Amino acid sequence: MTSKIKKLKDLERKLTVSVPVEDYEKKYGGKLSKIKSTAKLDGFRKGNVPDDVLKQRYGDSIHYEVLNELIQESYPKELQEKDLKPASSPAINIESEDPSKPVSYSAVFEVFPEVKPKLSRWKSFERSEITLDDSDIDLAINDILERYCTWEKVDREAKDQDQVIIDFEGKIDGEPFEGNESKDFKLVLGSKSMIPGFEDNLVGKKSGDSFSFKTNFPEDYFKKDLAGKETEFFISLNEVQEMNKAKIDKSLFDQLAMEEVSDEKSFRAEINKRMEGEIAQQEKSLTKESIYETLLESNTFKVPNATVTEQAELMRKDSLMRMGQTPENAPEDLFPIDEFKENAEKRVRLDLLFSALLKKYQLEVTEEDVNNFIDEEAKKYKDADQFKSWIQSQPQQLDQYKMVILENLLIEKLDSDLKSKVKVIKFSELANK
């Protein structure tokens, strides 16, 4: 068996393989003999049908079955021999299938690039430091009090922060559309949970009012068939409710699982503590993001189109699932695949860099690393021992933990090897994003 590899555009390769006539004849003869031993044809005894008759009846199917087997067997062998790592399924083309000559076929596919990571001495990543003020704690407490509020029916005009209960129906050019109506729909005015202009038109209205107004769907609305279109909404306002913020008392502490909090002072201290923990995680996340952006800027290389498309499809699927949709039943213009291509290409490049850097630094996860990680995760659960026992029976989850640990080890290493500069961010700036 002989083969040759040809480099096409970028990461595309063409592998041409020639299989000896003897290999074809051996397989063909074996299959023909197997059929002959069981074939029953009129005028012939079982096992005595002449070969030329069998070939006339079964020749074509045997021929293509043999071709398929020769390709299936030879293709992976040639890849291994030439140390090729395909990133996509091959496009197979049979060049020659004459049984009297060597069988020849070509396979076109993409390969993964050879990545040699560069760590720039000139580029710096940003080490995020988030500052927390008393006013940030005040806002956080107010947000909690509003989140755990109660609602009281009032007989007055609706205003911002009121909750209204409405029936609504939307029409475009006089025609209904998917998701255009709802009954007893609860909406907090000022929450910006509806399209622009919707909530504004409810301010100043009272219980019992029926009215209509026109507004436009945003140009970048996720449902492309609605984007930018003028819509008329017909509203029946059933009830206006006023917010009564939660009180800082034991009932609230219990709802928030604050077992050691007893008064307003200790409540504020606990909120501060939780926010500091959140800030530590955000600092790590933002710093990691900056490190990866620095790596991407310093390392430019082509990635397989097939892998990018595959990653984009996964991203689209994730977005659709969060909307209660699936790729099978969602229209193509709902989160078009092309919108994910740029981020997918980044993700693929990062994954390849990640693998190359792990080899460069020879990083490995030890059993102690995994146990320490599980101990930290267990602290999030009431019954830590039960969680530890359960997680040991979840191999997929343990593999995910190992990947997280590897990423953390890599970030620590890059943190020490790359230049950095401090970026101070106010907590309020993050909260408003």
Q: Which tens digits make up the pLDDT trace of 212-222?
A: 999 999 998 88
Q: Tell me, what's the pLDDT at 49?
A: 77
**Among residues 71, 83, 63, 65, which one has the least CA distance to residue 1?**
71
220: CB partners within 8 A, 6+ apart: 227
**Residue 192 has which token pair?**
């910006």
Does the pLDDT value for residue 326 go beyond 70? yes
Q: Tell me, what's the pLDDT at 202?
A: 98
Rounded-to-integer distance, Cα 272 and Cα 274, Å: 6
Question: What is the CATH superfamily name and number for domain 2-110?
Answer: Trigger factor ribosome-binding domain (3.30.70.1050)
Domain ranges of the chain: 2-110, 150-244, 276-431
**Among residues 62, 4, 60, which one has the least CA distance to residue 34?**
62
Distances (CA, A) of 127 to 92, 224, 251, 411, 419: 49, 39, 40, 12, 10
Domain 150-244 fold: Chitinase A; domain 3 (3.10.50)
Q: Tell me, what's the pLDDT at 48?
A: 76
Taking the CA atoms of the chain, what radius of gyration do you get in angstroms?
A: 33
365: CB partners within 8 A, 6+ apart: 402, 405, 406, 409
Q: State the pTM of this model.
A: 0.76
Burial code (b: 16+ CB inside 10 Å, e: under 16) for 34-61 equals ebbeebeeeeeeeeebeeeebeeebeee
Domain 276-431 fold: Trigger factor, domain 2 (1.10.3120)
Q: Tell me, what's the pLDDT at 278?
A: 93
The helix/strand/coil state of 231 is strand
Q: Tell me, what's the pLDDT at 354?
A: 94
* Average pLDDT estimate for 50-63: 86
Q: Tell me, what's the pLDDT at 380?
A: 86
Token match 């100043």: residue? 204
221-265 pLDDT per residue, tens? 888 889 999 999 999 999 999 999 999 999 999 999 898 999 999
Q: Which amino acid makes up residue 26?
A: K
- Average pLDDT along the chain: 92
Token match 């595309």: residue? 12
Q: Do domains 2-110 and 150-244 have the same CATH topology?
A: no
Q: Residue 107 belongs to what H/E stretch?
A: strand 103-110
Q: Tell me, what's the pLDDT at 230?
A: 95
Other CB atoms within 10 Å distance of the CB of residue 427: 20
Other CB atoms within 10 Å distance of the CB of residue 246: 17
Q: Tell me, what's the pLDDT at 433?
A: 66
Rounded-to-integer distance, Cα 428 and Cα 267, Å: 21
Check residue 7 and report its DSSP letter.
Answer: E
Does the pLDDT value for residue 150 go beyond 90? yes
* Average pLDDT estimate for 317-336: 85
Split at pLDDT 50, 70, 90, the class of 16 is very high
The helix/strand/coil state of 335 is coil
Q: Tell me, what's the pLDDT at 336?
A: 87
**Among residues 244, 176, 234, 242, which one has the least CA distance to residue 202?**
234
**Residue 56 has which token pair?**
């006339």
